[in-house]
Amino acid sequence: MIKNNWFDPFFVQENLSEEEKLIQNNVRSFADNILRPKVVENNRNHHFERELYKEFGKLGILGSTTNSHGGAGASSTAYGLSAYEIEKVDSSYRSSISVQSSLVIHPIYNFGSDEQKDKYLPELISGHKIGCFGLTESEAGSDPSSMKTTYKKDKDGYILNGSKNWITNSSIADIFIVWALNENLETHSVKGFILEKNTKGLTVSPINNKTSLKISPTGQILLENVFIPKSNCLQNTNGWSSVFSCLNKARFGISWGVLGAATECWLISKEYVENRIMFKKPLAANQLIQKKLADMQTEVNLGLSSCLLTSKAMDEGKNIINAISILKRNNCKKSLDIVRDCRDMLGANGLIEEYHIMRHLVNLETVKTYEGAENIHSLILGKNQTGIASF
Ligand code: TGC
Ligand code: FAD
């Protein structure tokens, strides 16, 4: 008899290596046993346990594609699968991994000096140090090139002035990757700097009133005449393309991750409608409900199959810039649609914390916004098709 493969109609699992399956199973069991039991309480209290980073480190999911300094040298697919499993529990936890791996370890590994790699990577990969990535400012969100934060050359280094807003982890970070423009407007080139906690002139303040991604700490950074020694400048950056290379990697992880949130809510609502009796029959016996389940199955699996293809292309060194914008934009949009339908299928119970769905729904509003809002990815794709920038 042919096995009913409704959950994995495109055989994604069969296309994974043994190592990728093992990593996925380990991360799933960590997510189930360590993260899920406390997620409702942590969300209610806006609480992130910083010790979790050490657990992420032990699991090998920080900088997992890095080949040195303790990195697991895993495939991009394995990185994506980890994001998928972790985001089944909460987008905040996936954000913790994305920021540390793609926005902190990645730039140090790719653009740092050997000394910087030796000094920072082992502790970031093991989770003994926490990093953050400061690009966005209050007046420079979708258009980071209009940032006001500047650097100027000083005798043995640089002086930084400015501020950053909406920075994940900034209130708990040991290490800050900060992007700034040359004070000289004619040059105006962008550079990345590594700042350490307690540097004179660097202050952070948490944003405590978010209604979304509540477990993930977010904050503001203020830089007042901060002196950065030359040795803490990322030496090998090449203008904006270096900044975007970090974003590419984070957007890729998000594309897998949001499908985790969607899968989780799809399965919760499937079980609910199979068991909920209304009009003397299960809700799942109604055509309108089955159509919704079919839509969820379709979008999750189309998304996962495309993520898998993109991961393989990424590891082959192909240009995946368009794929990433398509996936970041579409998977966030489709996941939000799915989770909203799930909320509806549970009726009043869909509003209850313990069913998890409302939390995923409000989290996905953040995920749709950061790392290039949905509109911005439309404009990137439009520009790449037509050659005309319409930002
Ligand atoms: P543009 O003129 O298009 O490009 C400037 C230079 O960069 C190159 N480039 C890329 N390189 C690599 N990968 C990409 N995806 C690239 N896109 C562009 C480009 O070739 C050019 O190179 P060169 O050598 O010719 O100079 O730049 P623009 O200023 O017009 O960019 C416009 C736009 C809107 C696309 C860009 O600003 C953008 O993507 N805005 C969105 C901002 C954003 O995504 N911010 C994210 C902040 S970090 C965050 O949200 C973390 S959330 C926490 C978590 O992930 O969990
Ligand atoms: P805006 O740029 O003001 O955009 C508002 C709306 O207008 C959006 O819908 C956008 O799509 C739309 N829009 C903008 N321009 C156009 C246009 N030309 N045409 C059509 N529509 C347009 N940033 C970091 O640097 N590091 C972090 O760690 C980080 N973490 C974050 C964590 C959270 C919880 C959140 C919410 C944000 C985080 N961000 C971070 C910031 C995030 O990247 C920005 O919020 C995002 O880039 C959008 O910028 P904005 O909020 O200023 O919106």
pLDDT in tens, 239-270: 999 999 999 999 999 999 999 999 999 999 99
Give the 3-state secondary structure of residue 162.
strand
- CB contact at 8 A, 273 and 283: yes
> Would residue 274 show up in a list of annotated catalytic residues for this protein?
no
Task: Grade residue 215 by pLDDT with cuts at 50, 70 and 90.
Answer: very high
Using alpha carbons, select from 200, 199, 136, 124 the residue that is nearest to residue 168: 136
Q: What is the mean pLDDT of residues 293-316?
A: 98
Task: Grade residue 186 by pLDDT with cuts at 50, 70 and 90.
Answer: low
Q: Supply the pLDDT for residue 247.
A: 98
> Which DSSP symbol is given to 233?
B
Count CB neighbours of 228 within 10 A.
25
Helix (DSSP H) and strand (DSSP E) numbers for the chain = 12, 9
Is any ligand 2 atom within 6 A of the Cβ of residue 373?
A: yes
Q: What is the mean pLDDT of residues 61-71?
A: 97
Using alpha carbons, select from 364, 358, 344 the residue that is nearest to residue 273: 344
Task: Grade residue 184 by pLDDT with cuts at 50, 70 and 90.
Answer: confident
CA angle 246, 249, 255 (to 5 degrees): 140
- CB contact at 8 A, 253 and 101: yes
Residues with CB under 6 A from ligand 1: 95, 98-99, 133, 135-136, 142-145, 168, 239-241, 244-245, 247-248, 250, 321, 370-372, 376, 380, 391
Residue nearest to atom 5 of ligand 1 (CA): 240
Q: Are strands 157-168 and 218-229 parallel, antiparallel or unpaired?
A: antiparallel
Task: Grade residue 97 by pLDDT with cuts at 50, 70 and 90.
Answer: very high
- CB contact at 8 A, 377 and 329: yes
Q: List all residues 6 or more positions away from 371 whose beta carbon is below 8 Å from its beta carbon.
A: 247, 250, 251, 254, 328
**Percent of the chain topping pLDDT 90:** 98
Q: Are strands 150-154 and 175-182 parallel, antiparallel or unpaired?
A: parallel
Instruction: Retrieve residue 373's tokens.
Output: 């809002």
The model's pTM:
0.97
pLDDT at 18 over 70: yes
Using alpha carbons, select from 336, 191, 331 the residue that is nearest to residue 257: 331
CA–CA separation, 344 vs 7, rounded Å? 22
Instruction: Retrieve residue 9's tokens.
Output: 């109609």
Residue 164 Cα: closest atom of ligand 2: 25
CA–CA separation, 261 vs 259, rounded Å? 5
> Which DSSP symbol is given to 227?
E
Q: What is the mean pLDDT of residues 200-210?
A: 97
Is any ligand 2 atom within 6 A of the Cβ of residue 111?
A: no
Residue 372 Cα: closest atom of ligand 1: 44
What does the DSSP assignment read for 27-63?
HHHHIIIIIGGGHHHHHHTT---TTHHHHHHHHT-SS
**What's the gap in Å between 244 CA and the centre of ligand 1?**
4
Using alpha carbons, select from 369, 384, 385 the residue that is nearest to residue 136: 369
